[in-house]
């Protein structure tokens, strides 16, 4: 059998792959020690970070309050847009003009730090919703937005407004 294997090997039809030699106890112990050292260093780095429970609680409370303010502002935006109407005469409403201006108001969205900000959007809508037609609503919204940008960029704290 050895001769047949040797002949096939010479012809290039058989390539014997040598079996890896088993690791010695010293090699296994060295690999284990290296892995253990890396684990200990990783845990030491994780434990080096100070744990401040009060700070985490305060961040959580602040996030909940911010979410509540955003939800309240969004509810006010929805109410303002839903109740917007244009009079067509005594006791009548011009629904076509009302719908067009509601669509223009819905199109006003202010982003801050890459995320929609309902409180800033509400400020702009409150200034823009009193205009007479769609182009003047858009101009008033742009003017109000620029005033907000100028005021906030004068004291940057949470990111640019877009």
Q: With respect to residue 100, please indicate whether it lies within any of the assigned structural domains.
A: yes
pLDDT at 158: 59
**99 domain-assigned:** yes
Work out the pLDDT band at 13, boundaries 50, 70, 90: low
Residue 60 domain-assigned (yes or no)? no
Q: Is residue 152 part of a domain?
A: yes
Residue 7 resides in a domain: no
Asked if residue 46 belongs to a domain, the reply is no
**What is the per-residue pLDDT across 25-84, written as a single tens digit (0 to 9) for each?**
999 999 999 999 999 999 998 888 777 888 888 999 999 999 999 999 999 999 988 988
pTM metric for this prediction: 0.59
Q: What is the mean pLDDT of the chain?
A: 84
How does residue 159 score in pLDDT terms, banded at 50, 70 and 90?
A: low
Q: How many domains does the chain have?
A: 1
Under a CB-based contact definition with an 8 Å cutoff, are residues 152 and 161 in contact?
yes
Render pLDDT for 91-115 as a digit per residue (tens, 0 to 9).
888 888 888 888 888 888 888 888 8
Query: Could you tell me which of 161, 155, 63, 153 has the C-alpha nearest to residue 112?
Result: 161
Residue 30 lies in a domain: no
Full domain range(s) for residue 111:
85-162
Q: Give the separation between CA 156 and CA 33, rounded to whole angstroms.
A: 50
Establish if 42 belongs to a structural domain: no
């Amino acid at each position: 059998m050895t001769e047949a294997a040797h002949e096939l090997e010479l012809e290039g039809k058989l390539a014997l792959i040598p079996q890896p030699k088993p690791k010695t106890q010293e090699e296994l112990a060295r690999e284990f020690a290296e892995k253990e050292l890396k684990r200990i260093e990783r845990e030491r780095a994780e434990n080096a970070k100070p744990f401040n429970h009060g700070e985490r609680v305060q961040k959580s409370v602040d996030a909940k309050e911010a979410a509540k303010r955003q939800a309240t502002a969004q509810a006010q935006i929805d109410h303002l847009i839903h109740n917007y109407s244009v009079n067509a005469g005594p006791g009548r409403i011009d629904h076509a003009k009302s719908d067009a201006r509601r669509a223009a108001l819905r199109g006003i969205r202010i982003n801050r730090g890459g995320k929609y900000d309902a409180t800033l959007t509400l400020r702009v809508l409150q200034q823009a919703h009193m205009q007479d037609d769609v182009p003047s609503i858009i101009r008033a919204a742009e003017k109000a937005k620029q005033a907000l940008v100028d005021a906030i960029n004068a004291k940057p704290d949470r990111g640019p407004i877009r």
